[in-house]
Amino acid sequence: MVVTTLKQLWYLEYMDSKRLRSFMAGEKLKVILEAEKIENWAAGRKYSVPESCVQDWRQKKEKLSSCNINRRAFRGKHAQFLQVEVALADYIQDRRQLGYAVSTEMIQMKACDIAKERGIPITQFKASCGWITVFMRRNGLSIRCRTTISQSLPDKYEEKLLAFQKYIIQLRQQKMYLMGQIGNADQTPVYFENPSNTTVNAVGDKSVPVRTGGREKQRCTVMLTILADGKKLPPYIIFKRKTLPKNEKFPPGIIIQAQQKGWMDNDLVIDWLKCVWQSRPGSLLKMPNMLVMDSFHGHFTEGVKKRLKDGKTDQVIIPGGMTSLLQPLDVCINWPFKAHVLRMYTEWAATVVHNTTPTGKMKAPTLAQMCAWIIADWKLIPEDLAVKSFKKCSISNSIDGSDDVSSSGESESSSKSENDD
């Protein structure tokens, strides 16, 4: 074969190089503009694109100009609800330009609202997960995620694990506790603003900022308590302030306190024992009972020890650095609880018309709203998960070892541990 033209020579070199790749709409438009100035084959040579592709792109110029610049192809079915998708894409773009995180749950809720406004029956449009995936692909969107660091275990943790379990077995053999008299309590922070670590965003963006009202570090402390028979005791909330607002109407079913640092201290631990632990079912009978807690210094002061002794409570302290294996709340409960809080914050951020501060920032939820979320989320935690959490930590297993569950091995999807502040 004799190569007679420069165009033929370049085409052979291109095919030999096998540098075929997909181009985004923005890149195709750039090639089109260049081809309009010079010939198609010259523009193709400049950008390493076959002339046939340049010709095809020029025919689709109008379509490429109207779509998202990150879109790569027009394959697949056309959007059945185009008006919904256009309005939804505008909503996402507006939220991201303001710097707010956008989750797939927010997209689903907003899509349903847009469809309802346009008179589309819910039987025809449900904004399913599959539809969200296709919508994001059509509009050049993806989910960006931040990685986290898990808690590291102390040296010789296996020995500490076995020693803890042997101690639990000895106590249970001596006292013969009922399941409803074995408990675990843990403090966990809940933040007023929960901007998601992930957001739907245009593919290829190097910077993915997430805007908040500036109060994402403001938190309250929640003391959660569960029993080995699955019962959940009322949440005990501590807000970081000197006094509680007088005009705030708090929901029932929760105990609220104020403290300048927003954290548990000796007096608040004693108050929690009085209001929650020693008000649990069966506490007035003064039956033998056991309370498992972490090694926070406020849990074993003299005042706390005296209060526990008066209530015939055997306190078991988890060795430092071992809560990810031995604390039932940390192993199975805290993560889904906070996930429910995040979901409710996301729904609130997506659907409620928010007031703003004089500087234009979105106001954070009120104290009463936070309490309402905490109560609702606590009710969503199933009792069987609480029962499972004690067995996972080898606290409530049969003493004869017939239903042991390994607490040092693999975690299940719901058993995500966290290193709380």
pLDDT, one tens digit per residue, over 250-296 is 999 999 999 988 888 889 999 999 999 999 988 888 889 999 999 88
- What is the pLDDT of the chain when averaged over all its residues? 80
Q: Domain check: are 127 and 181 in the same one?
A: no
Total domain count, the chain: 3
CATH number for the domain harbouring residue 61: 1.10.10
Name which of 85, 179, 103 is nearest 139 in CA terms: 85
Residue 73: inside a domain, yes or no? Answer: no
Name which of 265, 232, 193, 194 is nearest 332 in CA terms: 232
Residue 254: inside a domain, yes or no? Answer: yes
Q: Domain check: are 62 and 89 in the same one?
A: no
Q: Domain check: are 52 and 14 in the same one?
A: yes
Q: Domain check: are 256 and 343 in the same one?
A: yes
Q: Domain check: are 327 and 253 in the same one?
A: yes
Angstrom distance (rounded) from CA 374 to CA 236: 10
The band of 210, judged by pLDDT with boundaries at 50, 70 and 90, is: low
Residue 408, pLDDT > 50, answer no
Q: Domain check: are 336 and 260 in the same one?
A: yes
Name which of 136, 107, 89, 97 is nearest 351 in CA terms: 107
Q: Domain check: are 181 and 126 in the same one?
A: no
Q: Domain check: are 111 and 170 in the same one?
A: no
Domain that holds residue 87: 82-139
Q: Domain check: are 296 and 364 in the same one?
A: yes
Residue 415: inside a domain, yes or no? Answer: no
Positive/negative CA dihedral, 288, 283, 379, 248: negative
Residue 363: inside a domain, yes or no? Answer: yes
Helix pair angle (40-47, 25-37), 10° resolution: 130
CATH number for the domain harbouring residue 286: 3.30.420.10
Residue 414: inside a domain, yes or no? Answer: no
Give the other-Cβ count within 10 Å of 5's Cβ: 9
pLDDT in tens, 119-129: 888 888 888 88
The band of 98, judged by pLDDT with boundaries at 50, 70 and 90, is: low
Confidence (pTM) = 0.59
Residue 375: inside a domain, yes or no? Answer: yes
pLDDT in tens, 345-394: 777 776 666 677 776 666 777 889 889 999 999 999 999 999 999 999 98
Q: Domain check: are 106 and 235 in the same one?
A: no
Q: Domain check: are 221 and 321 in the same one?
A: yes
The band of 233, judged by pLDDT with boundaries at 50, 70 and 90, is: very high
The band of 149, judged by pLDDT with boundaries at 50, 70 and 90, is: very low
Please give the single-letter amino acid code of residue 62. Answer: E
Highest mean pLDDT among 31-35, 227-231, 283-287, 409-413: 227-231
